[in-house]
Chain A
Amino acid sequence: MDLSFLLAGCGQTMTSFFVPTFLFLFLPGCILLYSIVPQKAKKYVLLIVSYVFYWLVSGPLILYLLLSTVSVFGFGLWLEKIQNRMKTALKALPKEERKAAKPAYIHEQRCVVALAVIIHIGFLLVIKYSGFLIGNLNGILSAFDSPVRFGVPQYLMPIGISFFSLQAVSYIVDVYHGLIPADHKFFRLALFMSFFPQIVEGPIVRYHQTAESLWNVKPIQYRNLTMGLQRLLYGMMKKVVVADRLNPLVENIFDKANQFDGGIIALGAVCYTIQLYMDFSGAMDAVVGIAEIFGVTMPENFERPFFSRTISEFWKRWHISLGAWFKDYIFYPITASKRMKNLTSSARKKIGNHFGPLLAGSIALFCVWFCNGLWHGAAWSFIFFGMYHFVLILLGNVISPAVKKVNTALHLRPESRGYRYMQMIRTTLLVVIGELFFRANGLSSGFRLFGRIFTTFSVTGLNSETLTKLGVDAQDLLIVGLTVLIVFAVSLMNEKGIRVRERLEKRPLVQRWVVLYALILYIVIFGAYGFGYIPVDPMYAQF
């Protein structure tokens, strides 16, 4: 076995949980070490293996994570100090004077929060976006025939920085709001920031969700181990059998689009959407499963998004933790600001209950989707992706009274099965269009591909010759189709309130192990690995 991954920063393939070095060496090693050390030492084992993991995948860039944690720890204590000072001072004042004295302390805390946000988000902005900004600036200069050019900086981006920076900000803001006390245990905070299953692709967790359970870990139990492994394998099936098998097809369609007609491009957009879902939700299954082995409950990041009836609902079910972060730290703080509240009040009186709040809401929504687009990457196609969803959600809100009227006039029942299915299909189609732009190699390429779907559409383009060009065969499509059906069936049962895993847990031991072995065999037989396949990096790790 090649052990070169043990060198710092050389274990980058381990960012995927489904490679042999992680599955057969790193994870079992962690579980073994965790099991044999005394109870008191288990949390430290988790912290050490988390840092070892990060060191293996990032090498010296581990310094970013460490500095980020030290900074967050310090800012938390600083805020607490001001809060304690405020409490003592206000207590000493008569009640009627307290209201006047409070703003000075709030202002002081806000300055600390602002400094923390500037440091953490500023750092992320410099590393991730300075190249994009300077590239565009050079483009503008060139358009005006200016000889001035700025050097485009090339920074090494630490893996997971987009995830742990948001966690750092949420911790600081939550301490400021008094939702959580500042952590006095550095190692507890460090474990919350670095827990190895979630550091690469999230979910972006809030301090109150995992910090305490990570610190008070319990011995590994048989149920947690088997349930965790089962979830890990389910995620592996999604990633290795579907996402990785679709990879050559998607790459070929998007990279050599000129060779294919509109029908194939549409197929590419659909396949990419499936690939992204299976890749990312599969990784999240693994995160939840691995955490479960250690007795930690991770918040779910997906809730069967393709059953959504509107785009707005879709984003409450897809990458839930990112949407929740934007809602809590961007949307509501903007709409709850004094200016926006005044705007809402006056607008409601003038243009009514529906359109009144829409003004402030749309400003906040714009900020959310601009940030969402940019969070995914420094490129115009990502900004367009964000704006596309902003427009769709805004449009949904603007036309909803008219839609209600039309439904009443046409005697359409929004709760009827047909209406709901129609909404789900429409939402999925809109999502697929968005993903086409998301995956395209640049914004202009996205528009070109989208246009070609309509100008060169044909249903006869998919034949054995095209499949060869796409790097797949009929067997690949059959296996992908079958696995998507399995995932769909499980999702449908969960959607209907049938808790598949809990039901399975109640079945006799033999049946449970049969399912587990069947899952392993399915992955071994149908997984895309070995000769002819190039391991595919987790898609969300690059964001």
Chain B
Amino acid sequence: MDRLIEILEDIQPDVDYANCTNLIDGHFLSSLDIISLIAELEEEYDITVPAVEIVPANFNSVDAMRKMIERLQEDF
């Protein structure tokens, strides 16, 4: 998961990713950051993030992102 935090810090530094649980609702990540993040996640974890997954609940915390990545990796 450290790699995920690295990716996030590369996109938007100065955020306490380990503890923040409102990355979207608290406006820490903008829609452009999300576009960047998705492109990076797809490359790094060999997944496809469909538009329907782009909801605050999936991106508000590192934990939520991890769960989404695992779910998409398992998805057939």
Contact B76 A331 (CB under 8 A): no
Instruction: A335-B35, A345-B43 given; name 12 further pairs at CB < 8 Å.
Output: A90-B76, A98-B76, A177-B52, A331-B31, A332-B51, A335-B31, A336-B50, A340-B35, A344-B39, A353-B12, A361-B31, A397-B32
- The 7 lowest CB-CB distance pairs between A and B, nearest first, are A177-B52, A336-B51, A357-B35, A357-B36, A98-B76, A344-B39, A333-B51
Q: Which of A325-360 contact B (CB under 8 A)?
A: 327-328, 331-333, 335-336, 340-341, 344-345, 348, 353-354, 356-358, 360
B58 CB to closest chain A CB (Å) equals: 12
Q: When the two chains form the complex, which single residue of A99, A328, A345, A397 contacts B76, counting CB atoms closer than 8 Å?
A: A99
**Other-chain residue from A102, A328, A353 in contact with B10 (beta carbon distance below 8 A):** A353
Which of these, B10, B32, B38, contacts A336 with CB under 8 Å?
B38
Contacts of A333 in B (CB 8 A): 51
Q: Does A179 contact B (CB under 8 A)?
A: yes
Shortest distance in angstroms between B31's beta carbon and chain A's nearest beta carbon?
Answer: 7
Known: A333-B51, A345-B43, A348-B39. A358 touches B32 (CB 8 A): yes
The smallest beta-carbon distance between B3 and chain A, in angstroms, is: 16
Does B33 have its Cβ within 8 Å of any Cβ on chain A?
Answer: yes
Bound complex: CA of A327 vs CA of B38, how far in Å? 16
Query: Are A361 and B35 closer than 8 Å at their CB atoms?
Result: yes
A-B contact pairs, 26 of them (CB 8 A): A90-B76, A98-B76, A177-B50, A179-B52, A327-B31, A331-B31, A332-B51, A333-B51, A335-B35, A335-B51, A336-B38, A336-B49, A336-B50, A340-B35, A341-B39, A344-B39, A345-B39, A345-B40, A348-B39, A348-B40, A353-B11, A354-B32, A357-B32, A357-B39, A358-B32, A361-B35
Chain A residues touching B, range: 20 to 34
B20 at the interface (CB under 8 A from A): no
- Chain B 4-42 near chain A by CB (<8 Å), digits 1 or 0: 000000111000000000000000001111011011101
A95 touches B (CB below 8 Å): yes
Query: Across the two chains, which residue of chain A brings its CB closest to B35?
Result: A357
Q: Which residue of B lies closest to A90 (CB)?
A: B76
Interface of chain B: mostly helix, strand, loop or mixed: helix
Task: Determine how close the nearest CB of chain A comes to the CB of B16; give it in whole angstroms.
Answer: 16
Partner among B30, B31, B36, B50 whose Cβ is within 8 Å of the Cβ of A344 = B36
* Residue B64 lies at the interface, judged by CB distance under 8 Å to chain A: no
A335 to B53, CA, bound (A): 13
Complex contacts, A98 vs chain B, CB 8 Å = 76
Q: Which residues of A contact B31 (CB under 8 A)?
A: 327, 331, 335, 361
Q: In the assembled complex, which residues on chain A have CB atoms less than 8 Å from the CB atom of B76?
A: 90, 95, 98-99, 102
- B36 and A356 within 8 A (CB): yes
Residue pair B32, A332 in contact (C-beta under 8 Å) = no
A335 partner residues in chain B, CB cutoff 8 A: 31, 35, 38, 51
Shortest distance from the beta carbon of B23 to any chain A beta carbon, whole Å: 16
- Within 8 Å CB of A340, what residues of B? 35
A492 CA to B39 CA, complexed, in Å: 40
Give the distance in Å from the alpha carbon of A335 to the alpha carbon of B30 in the complex: 13
Chain B residues near A102: list those with CB within 8 A. 76
Question: When chains A and B are docked, how far (Å) is the Cα of A102 from the Cα of B48?
Answer: 14
> Shortest beta-carbon distance, B15 to chain A, in Å?
13
Per the bound structure, the CA–CA distance linking A102 and B12 in Å amounts to 36
Shortest CB distance B32–A (Å): 5
Alpha-carbon gap, A454 to B38, bound state (A): 46
Interface centre among B12, B31, B35 (most CB of A within 10 A): B35
CA distance A165 to B35 in the complex (A): 28
Contact A360/B52 with A95-B76, A99-B76 known, Cβ cut-off 8 Å: no
> Taking CB as reference atom, which chain B residue is nearest A93?
B76
Closest to A359 in B: B35
With the chains together, A98 CA to B76 CA distance in Å? 6
B33 to chain A minimum Cβ distance, whole angstroms, is 7
The CA-CA distance from A178 to B52 in the complex, in Å, is 9
Asked whether, in the complex, the Cβ of A353 is within 8 Å of the Cβ of B36, the reply is yes
| Chain A contacts with B in 86-104, Cβ cutoff 8 A | 90, 95, 98-99, 102
Q: In the assembled complex, which residues on chain A have CB atoms less than 8 Å from the CB atom of B54? A: 332, 336
Q: Which residues of B sit under 8 angstroms from A327, Cβ to Cβ?
A: 31
The reply to whether B36 and A341 form a contact with Cβ atoms under 8 Å apart is: no
Residues of B within 8 A of A357 (CB): 32-33, 35-36, 39
A416 vs B54: C-alpha distance when bound (angstroms): 32
> How far does the alpha carbon of A356 sit from the alpha carbon of B34 in the complex, in Å?
12
Q: A99-B76, A331-B31 are in contact. Are A348 and B42 (CB under 8 A)?
A: no
Chain A: minimal CB distance from B19 (Å)? 20
Q: Tell me which residues across on chain A come within 8 A of B43, comparing CB atoms.
A: 345
Residue of B nearest to A355 (CB): B32
When C-beta atoms are compared, the residue in chain A nearest to B54 turns out to be A332
Complex: A335 Cα to B42 Cα, angstroms:
13
Whole-angstrom CA separation of A397 from B50 in the bound complex: 24
**B41 CB to nearest A CB, Å:** 10
- Once the chains are docked, how many angstroms separate the CA of A358 from the CA of B30? 11
Q: Write the chain B residue with the least CB distance to A97.
A: B76
Residue of B nearest to A348 (CB): B36
Interface residues of A in 302-345 (CB under 8 A from B): 327-328, 331-333, 335-336, 340-341, 344-345
What is the minimal beta-carbon distance from A45 to any residue of chain B, in angstroms? 35
